[in-house]
Amino acid sequence: MRNNPRVNKYLFTDIYISKEDQKKWYRKLLRDKKHFVFIAFDDVPVGYGQVKNIDYITHSCELGFCIAPEYQGKGYGTMLIKELIEYAVKELDVHRLYLEAFTDNEKAIKLYKKCGFKKEKILHERIFKDGSFKDVVVMSIIRGKTENRAD
Ligand SMILES: CC(C)(COP(=O)(O)OP(=O)(O)OC[C@H]1O[C@@H](n2cnc3c(N)ncnc32)[C@H](O)[C@@H]1OP(=O)(O)O)[C@@H](O)C(=O)NCCC(=O)NCCS
């Protein structure tokens, strides 16, 4: 899915992932207590969500999402994000959840706002992608505080 250009243009890395790379990554992931990947299923796999950079000291983690192009716009992203927020809060007792997106990824930003994330800051020219440096927005949910935060 990450190799699909319709998905990859929104991701921060643009390397081609081979089957062997994928297996290596998967084996590493099995031992990693700070990074979990969840596959979204509706009879078939439709996408995946990641809970990563889990910090058990500061009670924070980063989220990331991908829905396969043919399944986008059907509500799967919304369901997956809500599930992972609940998982992070209830199972990992996370206080601050954050994520990052290109500032021109309007669809993702709209979705994140809908799910309660607030804009925190812009990281200017943070990622080199497709020949230029791109701005990234950091968004977060802070438990118990989000309702009162400006966006
Ligand atoms: C971003 C992504 C995860 C959203 O998943 P999805 O299953 O398509 O999302 P949903 O169908 O649940 O739609 C969620 C919201 O996105 C927004 N949205 C959906 N399609 C949109 C469009 N064409 N234009 C603008 N906003 C749109 C809407 O706010 C929508 O909520 P609403 O229907 O209640 O208004 C998915 O598009 C994706 O994987 N994109 C490529 C990879 C990516 O950008 N990942 C995030 C990197 S930070």
CATH code of residue 10? 3.40.630.30
Q: Which domain holds residue 105?
A: 5-148
Is ligand 1 within 6 A of the CB of residue 65? yes
Using CA atoms, how far apart are residues 146 and 151, in angstroms rounded to an integer? 9
Centroid of ligand 1 to alpha carbon of 76 (angstroms): 9
Percent of the chain surpassing pLDDT 70 = 98
Centroid of ligand 1 to alpha carbon of 31 (angstroms): 31
Closest ligand 1 atom to Cα of 71: 7
DSSP E strands: which ranges in the chain? 36-42, 44-55, 60-67, 96-102, 118-129, 132-142
Range 42-47 average pLDDT: 97
Closest ligand 1 atom to Cα of 108: 1
Is ligand 1 within 6 A of the CB of residue 121? no
Angle between helices 106-114 and 76-90 (to 10 degrees): 50
- 27 phi, psi to nearest 5 deg: -65, -40
Task: Name the pTM for this structure.
Answer: 0.92
Is ligand 1 within 6 A of the CB of residue 10? yes
Number of domains in the chain: 1
Is ligand 1 within 6 A of the CB of residue 109? no
pLDDT in tens, 78-129: 999 999 999 999 999 999 999 999 999 999 999 999 999 999 999 999 999 9
| Amino acid letter, 133 | F
- What was the pLDDT predicted at 147? 64
